[in-house]
A = this chain, B = another copy of it.
Amino acid sequence: MARFFVEPEELNGQEIILSGENAQHAKVLRLKAGEELLVCDGVGRECVCRVQEVNPVILEVLESRNSVTEAAVRVSVYMAFPKADKLEHVIQKATELGAYEIVAFPSARCISKPDDKSLKKKLERWQKIAASAAEQSGRGRIPQVLVLPSFASALERAAHADKALMFYENEHATTLRMAMETGGWKTVSLLTGPEGGLEEKEVEQARTAGLQVCTLGSRILRCETAPLCALSAVMYAAGEF
């Protein structure tokens, strides 16, 4: 079923009119009267609609519901700035895999960090990547892409989750599985380092902030692989598939 994202307030009535890019997209799809499609507000609500007219595109709302493709667990992916294309890769894949949000932040060994001037443009681009991946993967919610100003602010925000985890290659005792087995978590933060890894000092800082430090196994994962591996495993542990 075709899927369109609109502003939340547009889902309130009995009728929805597609405009702007959505109208364009509807034209490309050659929608016909009587066809059914999904209109999502991008924050977890969606309406099953039937096309009444095609020019302009007027839709009758058949059913309003919570999105059926959103994970029950809210997983926030915290990633230290990697080189640009890797962050884009992670945003796309983490969105497909059901991440609630993606949060980028600086850390000591970050090679790449957008300057304040270019940040606004980059954030727009990143948010578009998330929107496009959400549409393609059939999600009802577009994960927000956030940028935090410091490592400390990332720790502080991440620590608010029921389960706040940092992955570190020199941790060997605590596995992700041990960390997840306690259960009872509805929100999870997964924090990973940049290309050069996290500094010992940063790991200590994370512990102090309340994060649990875990291993992702004995193989060294690239910085763009680690968050997606952890996210996949957490979704599996949460019973998503």
Return A190 CB to nearest CB of chain B, in Å.
Answer: 12
> Does A170 lie at the interface of the complex (its beta carbon under 8 Å from any beta carbon of B)?
no
Q: Mark A178-214, 1 if CB is under 8 A from B, else 0.
A: 0000000000000000000000000000000000001
For A98, the chain B residues whose CB sits under 8 A away are 217, 219
**Interface residue from B96, B136, B237 paired with A236 (Cβ < 8 Å):** B237
Within the complex, the shortest CB–CB distance from A16 to chain B, in Å, comes to: 23
Contact check, B220 vs A241: say whether CB atoms are below 8 A apart: no
Please, which residues of chain B bring their CB within 8 A of the CB of A218? 68-69, 138, 240
Contacts of A97 in B (CB 8 A): 219, 221, 225, 229
Residues of A at under 8 Å CB distance from B? 68-69, 71, 93, 96-98, 136-139, 175-177, 214-222, 225, 228-230, 232-233, 235-237, 239-241
CA distance A96 to B228 in the complex (A): 12
Task: Please indicate which of the listed interface residues A177, A232, A239 has the most CB atoms of chain B within 10 Å of its own CB.
Answer: A232
Residue of B nearest to A94 (CB): B225
* Contacting pair A236 B235 (CB below 8 A): no
Shortest distance between the CB of A128 and any CB in chain B (Å): 17
Q: Within 8 Å CB of A220, what residues of B?
A: 96, 136-138
Q: For A219, give its contact among B96, B177, B215, B219 (CB under 8 Å).
A: B96
